[in-house]
Structure 1
Amino acid sequence: MLNKTYPLFSYLAYWLNKEDKYSLQSPLLFSTYQDLFSYIKGRKSMDLDIEIYRKLLLSSDELIEVDDYGAGSKSVNTAKRKVADITKFSTSNRKFAQLYQFFCSLTPAYTVLELGTCMGIGSRYLSRVTQGNLYTFEGSKEIAKVAKPSQGFENLSLIVGELSKTLPSTLDTLQKVDFALIDATHTYEGTLSYFEQVLQKTHTKSIIAIGDIHWSREMERAWKEIRSNPLVKLSLDFYECGIALLDYPGEKTGYVLDF
């Protein structure tokens, strides 16, 4: 029960500490924050085919067997789960999918990673702004079958298997990583391990996003350690996710932002 109700208490803390754009002292951060909302507004009529795909999944009665290598789901934590339920409870909404697009677009976006494909909605959004190759990782074979696009999204490679095995072998083939979204397992150990592995392939213009940073005490602990990493110059807390930037002209700092 505590694990289920914990986000309520963490959201209260977030709500009490969040800042709007008018309280930001840094002109660069103020501009970036404004650009985020302009970006979302400007793409109001774009990627609507992905939302049609989401609606199809939400109306599906298909039951699939889920291989879960992480902390599980708070809403549907059984081996067999409805595609509709997975889509409803375990995928980012359009606003946050576009937030990830925006921060990805601030990087060269030539090599992009998504750890935690789920139903493939986020993959499709990221694919649209990826300039090179997008590698998305999913542990469950049955989920991957549903998530994999039948056509289009040619720059997307879906890698299936346990992430502790598939991530290191994939990173070995890459020279650098421009943007990464870590949204898998939702454990302290797993999240920190993935972050540290990806960090070895980053450069100063890279950005790393962490999903569900307030999902549990474990995830908040992982986010705290990520923020304190010497290579992270600026951290942004949007409650549902955290953004770690490795290039920021000011002193190392972090913000809790309204979104």
Structure 2
Amino acid sequence: MLKSIVYFEVGRLGLPAVDAALINRIDKEFPMIRMNEPPFDMAFMDASNLGNLPFDADMVHNDTVIVVDNIHGTNKNRAAWKKIKTNPIVTVTIDLYYCGVVFLRKEQARQHFKIRI
């Protein structure tokens, strides 16, 4: 996850406050990142918490990347992942089995990938 913060040059990160150790590590390694201040450049969510996915226009922008954890954990999580893929602002999804990556780029054709590693 920390490598993706560097790769996508994240300035604003949406992260649920469920893992204090992770939040502290991110604060220590990336002191310039603004946490939980929309619009997010990247957001990390759990599929079981679908109600909190940041799909409101004021919370995301065209280059926002959303990483959704645990997309195959339960029937509810699998249903949440299917619902995410059908959201009209979602253009690209990548199913990495343990997590999914969501892109919102308007200029990109709608595609869904499954990558088994």
**Shorter-chain TM-score range:** 0.7 to 0.9
The one of 82, 92, 96 equivalent to 1:234 is 92
Give CA deviations for 1:201-243 in whole Å, capped at 9, x if unaligned. 1001111111101110000000111011111111011111111
The yes-or-no answer on 1:115 pairing with 2:9 is: no
Q: Which amino acid aligns with 2:92?
A: L
> How many residue pairs end up in the alignment?
115
Q: Which amino acid aligns with 1:178?
A: D
**Deviation at 1:114?**
1.3
- Mark the CA change 1:175 to 1:134 in structure 2 (over 3 Å): closer, same or farther: closer
The yes-or-no answer on 1:176 pairing with 2:39 is: yes
The yes-or-no answer on 1:224 pairing with 2:82 is: yes
Q: Which has the higher helix share?
A: 1
Q: How does 1:88-107 map to 2 (within 5 A)?
A: 100-107=1-8
Cα distance in 1 for residues equivalent to 2:107 and 2:21: 35
**Deviation at 1:131?**
3.7
> Percent of aligned positions with the same letter in both sequences?
18
Q: Secondary structure at the match of 1:224?
A: helix
Q: Please tell me whether the aligned partners of residues 233 and 245 of structure 1 are also in contact (alpha carbons under 8 angstroms).
A: yes
Q: Which has the higher contact order (CA 8 A, sep 6+)?
A: 2
- Mark the CA change 1:250 to 1:175 in structure 2 (over 3 Å): closer, same or farther: closer
Cα distance in 2 for residues equivalent to 1:232 and 1:107: 18
| Structure 1 partner of 2:102 | 244
Q: Please, which runs of 5 or more residues in structure 1 have no aligned partner?
A: 1-99, 136-173
The yes-or-no answer on 1:255 pairing with 2:113 is: yes
Q: Please, which runs of 5 or more residues in structure 2 have no aligned partner?
A: none
Cα distance in 2 for residues equivalent to 1:218 and 1:126: 32
Cα distance in 2 for residues equivalent to 1:181 and 1:235: 14
Q: How does 1:25-104 map to 2 (within 5 A)?
A: 100-104=1-5
Q: Please tell me whether the aligned partners of residues 89 and 106 of structure 2 are also in contact (alpha carbons under 8 angstroms).
A: no
Q: Which has the higher strand share?
A: 2
The yes-or-no answer on 1:213 pairing with 2:114 is: no
- Mark the CA change 1:132 to 1:247 in structure 2 (over 3 Å): closer, same or farther: same
Q: Secondary structure at the match of 1:115?
A: coil
Give me the TM-score of the superposition, normalised by structure 2: 0.80
Cα distance in 2 for residues equivalent to 1:229 and 1:127: 35
Cα distance in 1 for residues equivalent to 2:80 and 2:106: 22
Decide which structure has the larger Cα Rg and report it.
1
- Mark the CA change 1:254 to 1:221 in structure 2 (over 3 Å): closer, same or farther: same
